[in-house]
Amino acid sequence: MRLLKLAIISFIVFFLLITAISLFIPAHVRISKATDINATKDSVMLQVKNAANWKNWYPGADTLEVLQIDGVVKGILTKGQQGIIITGSDDSTVMAGNAGTAPGKGEMGWNILQSRGKGPVTVQWYMDFRFSWYPWEKFSSLLLEKRYGLLMEQGLDKLKKFLEK
């Protein structure tokens, strides 16, 4: 009985300690990658804003199905019924989010910038993640750069090669 009581108290103290440590990890995490492309801003926007063109540069999109809404390609379908859908855009920004069973947890977007209308176009790809207070979610956020950073760099490199050829 005494050993069981010690085990339960130890587990509770350990859980509270881990939870307290996780409170120092931010609940909002942004991963961002950028590259300069020697192309016109309009050609870059055409590739990013139109989800049908993602097959040219988005990592893995060449083998995925497109997501059509009212006959217009709005995104791509990933695993199961999940996907990535374009949620909005303006003259220099395209925003996308999760579609399907887990919307709202993460968003991403692209900022396309050109200084004074000449020179290379800078494309910034970012992903925003929001987490609850749960320790396992907070600690999993520490691995996001490793998981998505390389894919984002590959996608920007493919976009650059596609537009500069």
Is the distance from CB of 18 to CB of 137 less than 8 angstroms? no
Asked if residue 94 has pLDDT above 60, the reply is yes
Say how far apart CA 165 and CA 160 lie, in whole Å. 9
> Which CATH code is given to the segment(s) 26-164?
3.30.530.20
Alpha carbon 112 to its chain centroid, in Å, reads 16
Q: What are the CA-CA distances from residue 27 to residues 6, 32, 35, 132 (Å)?
A: 33, 16, 27, 7
Mean pLDDT, to the nearest integer, of 114-143?
Answer: 88
Asked if residue 4 has pLDDT above 90, the reply is yes
The pLDDT tens digits of the residues spanning 34-69 come to: 999 999 999 999 999 999 899 999 998 888 888 888
User: If residue 19 lies in a helix (H) or strand (E), which one and from where to where?
Assistant: helix 2-22
